[in-house]
């Protein structure tokens, strides 16, 4: 324990996957290349960025589902290591994107939710186990009759409730939610998002909420971090980021979000990015965004900008903005 005001502190986290290139050779795929952020108890940090920018890898590496290449993660001030990760897993959980592949269809709901209770030995007898499972099911809006049914019998939205119940079973303080609604029908996405919010209010749990969709992220997040090619390029209070974005990449992401008001939509100009996202196997020198940035200067090709505070914790990594 420490007196840090943060629940989760991530400092210069890197995840370089080694991709084989023939006999004995390999090349580094820099999926996450020096990411830092903090999350307070009960807070939601949204993490957005295009497919392949490293969002899932950040979540998995910070929970040590992948061993980090370098960098550190602290939970409640305590450095997370290979040695203490097993007890800490009780505090830090993950909800996965695809509720179809992340739940074993041949297990009953009771056993899916009970498994983490078994692993962490969180009950004295069978009755207590069952009571705990039923109260968590109630919390996520599942009926007691569902307990003996199999995961494959449920719809996507119900399965995601089972996934959330499983994560909540051990009473964690922090959950990485990896695009938890993007595999669901649009019609039920809002219901599930609302449930995440209600659970946070009741339980005081903090989220790292990963999503493609800026509207979803803006709705649920206190703060938002924007990722591009393995790095965070901007991080700010959710409203501030939405109303006063600074980084050229954030501006282009926001300009692509449909605006419901047609008058406003007419005034705003869509910024179309030229070129493709470079491969993380062949990162540009300097700023990772420079190959698509209309503000790029010579310095951008030489040195990678770090995040600097532009006031009120609005952090931006850009030489020219
Ligand atoms: N286990 C792995 N081994 C090697 N490369 C990986 C591995 N996992 C991810 N990658 C690569 O790392 C990069 C980041 O992937 P990641 O899945 O973290 O992105 P993402 O932002 O979550 O994308 P999406 O929005 O599509 O889920 C990609 O280039 C991906 O191909
Ligand atoms: S540092 Fe340069 S290339 Fe990178 S976003 Fe800023 S202006 Fe563009
Ligand atoms: Mg992902």
Ligand nearest to the CA of 178: 3
Ligand 1 centroid distance, CA of 166 (Å): 24
Ligand nearest to the CA of 96: 3
pLDDT number for residue 65:
96
User: Which residue matches tokens 């995601």?
Assistant: 160
| Ligand 1 atom closest to residue 210's alpha carbon, by position in its atom list | 22
In Å, what is the CA distance from 70 to each residue of 53, 65, 92, 204, 286? 18, 14, 20, 30, 20
Protein residue with least CA distance to atom 13, ligand 1: 31
Ligand 1 centroid distance, CA of 31 (Å): 6
Protein residue with least CA distance to atom 11, ligand 1: 31
Ligand 2 centroid distance, CA of 304 (Å): 9
Burial of 1 (0-12, 13-18, 19+ CB in 10 A): exposed
Report strand pairing: 44-48 vs 206-211: parallel
Report the alpha-carbon distance of residue 16 to residue 69 in Å, rounded: 6
Protein residue with least CA distance to atom 6, ligand 2: 318
Report the pocket of ligand 2 as residue ranges, CB < 6 Å.
Answer: 248, 287, 289-290, 293, 295-296, 300, 305, 318-321
| Ligand 1 atom closest to residue 212's alpha carbon, by position in its atom list | 25
The domains of the chain are located at 8-91+172-316
Report the pocket of ligand 1 as residue ranges, CB < 6 Å.
Answer: 17, 29, 31, 49, 51-57, 212, 280
Ligand 2 centroid distance, CA of 321 (Å): 8
Protein residue with least CA distance to atom 7, ligand 1: 17
Q: Compute mean pLDDT per 10 residues along the chain, 321 residues long, and list them.
A: 83 95 87 97 97 96 97 97 94 90 90 94 94 95 94 91 95 96 89 94 97 90 97 97 96 80 60 82 93 96 97 96 94
In the CATH scheme, what architecture does the domain 8-91+172-316 have? 3-Layer(aba) Sandwich (3.40)
DSSP sequence for 34-68: EEEEEE-TT-EEEEE--TTSSHHHHHHHHTTSS--
Kindly state the helix (H) or strand (E) to which residue 19 belongs, with its residue range.
Answer: strand 8-20
> Which tokens sit at 28?
């580094």
pLDDT number for residue 3:
64
Q: Find residue 104's DSSP bridge partners.
A: none
Ligand 1 centroid distance, CA of 92 (Å): 21
Q: Within a 13 Å sphere around the CA of 298, how many CA atoms are in the beta-carbon half? A: 0
Ligand 1 centroid distance, CA of 58 (Å): 9
Protein residue with least CA distance to atom 29, ligand 1: 52
The number of beta carbons lying within 10 Å of the beta carbon of residue 212 is 15
């Amino acid at each position: 324990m420490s007196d840090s005001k943060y629940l989760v502190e991530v400092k210069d986290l890197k995840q370089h996957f080694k991709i084989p290139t023939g006999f004995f050779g390999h090349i580094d795929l820099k999926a996450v290349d020096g990411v830092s952020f903090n999350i307070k108890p009960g807070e939601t940090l949204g993490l957005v960025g295009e497919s392949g920018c490293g969002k899932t890898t950040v979540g998995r590496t910070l929970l040590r589902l992948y061993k980090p290449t370098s960098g550190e993660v602290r939970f409640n001030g305590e450095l997370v290591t290979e040695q203490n990760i097993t007890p800490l897993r009780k505090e830090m959980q993950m909800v996965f994107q695809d509720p179809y592949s992340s739940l074993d269809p041949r297990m009953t709901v009771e056993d899916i939710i009970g498994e983490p209770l078994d692993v962490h030995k969180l009950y004295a007898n069978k009755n207590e186990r069952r009571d705990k499972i039923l109260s968590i099911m109630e919390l996520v809006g599942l009926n007691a009759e569902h307990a003996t049914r199999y995961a494959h019998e449920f719809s996507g939205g119900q399965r995601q409730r089972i996934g959330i119940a499983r994560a909540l079973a051990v009473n964690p303080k922090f959950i990485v939610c990896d695009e938890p609604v993007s595999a669901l029908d649009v019609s039920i996405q809002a219901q599930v998002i609302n449930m995440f919010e209600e659970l946070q209010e009741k339980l005081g749990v903090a989220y790292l909420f990963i999503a493609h969709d800026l509207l979803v992220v803006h709705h649920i997040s206190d703060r938002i971090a924007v990722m591009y090619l393995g790095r965070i390029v901007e991080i700010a209070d959710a409203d501030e980021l939405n109303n006063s974005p600074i980084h050229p990449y954030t501006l282009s992401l926001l300009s692509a979000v449909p605006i419901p008001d047609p008058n406003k939509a007419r005034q705003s100009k869509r910024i179309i990015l030229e070129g493709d996202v470079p491969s993380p196997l062949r990162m540009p020198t300097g700023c990772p965004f420079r190959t698509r940035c209309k503000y790029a200067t010579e310095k951008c090709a030489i040195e990678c900008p770090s995040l600097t505070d532009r006031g009120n914790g609005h952090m931006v990594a850009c030489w020219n903005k």
